[in-house]
Amino acid sequence: MIKTDFLVIGSGIAGLTYALKVAQRYPDKQVTVVTKAHTDETNTKYAQGGIAGVTDFEKDSFEKHINDTLIAGDGLCNPKIVEIVVKEGVDRIRELIEWGAQFDKDSDGDYALGKEGGHSEFRILHHKDVTGREMERALVETVTKQPNITIIKHCFVIDIITQHHFGFLVTKSTTDVTCYGVYALNLETRQTEKILAKITLLATGGNGQVYRTTTNPSIATGDGVAMVYRAKGRIENMEFIQFHPTALYEAGVGGQAFLITEAVRGDGGILRNKHGEAFMDKYDDRKDLAPRDIVARAIDSEMKINGTEHVWLDCRHMDKEKFIHHFPNIYEKCLSIGIDVAKNMIPVSPAAHYSCGGIKTNEWGRTSIQQLYAAGECASTGLHEANRLASNSLLEAMVFGHRAYLDAVEEFKKINSQPEIPDWDTKGTNHPREMILITQSLKELQLLMSDYVGIVRTDVRLQRAMKRLDLLWQETEDLYKTTTVSPQLGELRNMISVAYLIVKCAQFRKESRGLHFNTDYLFKNEISQNIIL
Ligand SMILES: Cc1cc2nc3c(=O)[nH]c(=O)nc-3n(C[C@H](O)[C@H](O)[C@H](O)COP(=O)(O)OP(=O)(O)OC[C@H]3O[C@@H](n4cnc5c(N)ncnc54)[C@H](O)[C@@H]3O)c2cc1C
């Protein structure tokens, strides 16, 4: 058993921002960060484009950034939250720079600001095309120097502990569900441990792995959302999955797809179909710089019309030296598979990229469960809602990592006692005899989500998805009851829950709005609401 003061699940930008601040505020208290992989194996590390923030007050303004965010969110954003993130974000970026993150500058020493789809001004700070890697590096280095933070790597959190675990009936109507820590499988000792804490923060990231093609690494299995749902907490707007329009298409290569950031289109890259035609003007006046949902649907439509598995991104007319300077990682990756961007077009197709919905939180990062906070991609704060404006998510993760810290350090003072928590119960379980049962179910899940619950949806497809999910859920629950828990089984179980939540929310939304596009309802309702489960 481990006892800590503050427990953080996740070592991406949200978790580490919060951990650092809490630890600095209370140097005599213990902060424990748990992560299921290497410390830096996070969605954060793979962010390319950058972090949005108003830094050039001559050309840009908070109002413009707020307005761009509200337009992307398609009527569902909480304006108060948008204002908080845009205005407070500037201070968070400043802190990140103080912690050592470096962003590109121009020859005058000013920040070289990028522009992405949906932004009316140049306001994206970036570090070449590996911004996330640079931010994660700076955060990990700073956190590692903080003596009262312990990082436990390779430790898979299975469930949050609530009253349910010591015999109380907890339902959706229970108003005082409380989190006392987590049960976690230490992958080095193979022991399931309880980690008890007065305050827990979930910063478990996204859920792209629910789909067959995703830009997300293998850790992105929606664990935090599934845990909160099982614990009877509130989950919101899961139907809004952002598909990145331009992941590198590699025939026969599955798993995490390499992202071609839309900053490439910001710098002049043009999408072309099978016939070499630039097609975006047929779909939107903003052409290649239209918001991601519009570009992703346009690509989906061109692929269907032409019967192809990808379209092309044409960068041949761009300045090669500038391209290599701004996008060295993309240039190298393309070259490694025989594509010289100065001579060849890049094959691209859409891939699941970002989850706008998640664990419902208030303006201080509090969830509906007491002593439990959430921040980063696993949270639904009110910022993105129907669609995320590019490069707003790293900003949101920092703002709510900070806000959760401000609230948690006050809440901490009020918590005096911890109930008796039972050990993890392994009675009646055995080691899995056939891993194929897990891997096959995962393939089925990813396929059905991609085919039935992708960029374009219909009622019939959603109904089919739900029926198939039901069967997968029953089979997996049977397996779970009789099998010693493993990360593979835990993740499959979580992904089935997340898929169920995506489909359920999609079925409730009887309109097409933002990222949710259902051809049975090609209209927007006059009054639209967030869907909370
Ligand atoms: C390819 C790519 C490019 C992107 N580009 C941009 C961009 O340019 N700008 C932008 O703003 N956003 C971008 N994003 C989105 C952004 O990177 C993420 O939304 C953000 O980094 C999420 O941070 P986080 O802290 O919430 O989670 P993450 O960084 O994903 O961290 C999640 C952490 O939780 C841990 N974890 C999860 N489940 C468990 C469990 N059961 N037990 C223990 N640990 C667990 C993981 O191990 C990991 O440490 C991009 C995303 C991707 C994938």
CA of 401 to the centre of ligand 1 (A): 13
CA of 204 to the centre of ligand 1 (A): 7
Task: Determine the Cα–Cα distance for residues 296 and 321; give it in Å rounded to an integer.
Answer: 28
Residue 253, SS3 per DSSP? coil
The pocket around ligand 1, CB under 6 angstroms, is made up of 9-15, 34-37, 42-44, 46-51, 131-132, 156-157, 203-206, 215-216, 219, 223, 259, 354, 376-378, 391-394, 397
Task: Determine the Cα–Cα distance for residues 223 and 416; give it in Å rounded to an integer.
Answer: 29
What is the pTM for the complete model shown? 0.94
230 in active site: no
Amino acid at position 403, single letter: R
CA of 124 to the centre of ligand 1 (A): 18
**CA angle 175–180–185, rounded 5-degree value:** 125
**CA angle 301–304–305, rounded 5-degree value:** 85
Contact 177, 231 (CB under 8 A): yes
CA–centroid distance for 346 within its chain: 26
Core vs surface per residue 61-81: b (16+ CB within 10 A) or e: beebbbebbbebbbebbbeeb
CA of 144 to the centre of ligand 1 (A): 19
The per-residue pLDDT string of the chain (533 residues; one tens digit each, 9 = 90 and over) reads 899 999 999 999 999 999 999 999 999 999 999 999 999 999 999 998 899 999 999 999 999 999 999 999 999 999 999 999 999 999 999 999 999 999 999 999 999 998 887 899 999 999 988 999 999 999 999 999 999 999 999 999 999 999 999 889 899 999 999 999 999 999 999 899 999 999 999 999 999 999 998 999 999 999 999 999 999 999 999 999 999 999 999 887 777 899 998 889 988 999 999 999 999 999 999 999 887 888 999 999 999 899 898 999 999 999 999 999 989 999 999 999 999 999 999 999 999 999 999 999 999 999 999 999 999 999 999 999 999 998 999 999 999 999 999 999 999 999 988 888 999 887 777 777 778 889 999 999 999 999 899 999 999 999 999 999 999 999 999 999 888 889 999 999 999 999 999 999 999 999 999 999 999 999 999 888 999 99
The set of residues, in sequence order, having a beta carbon less than 8 Å from that of 464 and lying 6+ positions away, is 448, 452
Question: 265, 292, 297, 366: which is the annotated catalytic residue?
Answer: 292
Assigned token pair, 506 = 């999609």
From residue 362, alpha-carbon distances to 86, 400, 406, 409 in Å are 17, 10, 13, 16
pLDDT at 344: 96
Pairing of strands 358-360, 346-355: unpaired
Contact 363, 403 (CB under 8 A): yes
Q: Which ligand 1 atom sits nearest the alpha carbon of residue 158? A: 41
DSSP states along 94-147: HHHHHTT----B-TTSSB--B--TT-SS--EE-STT-HHHHHHHHHHHHHHH-T
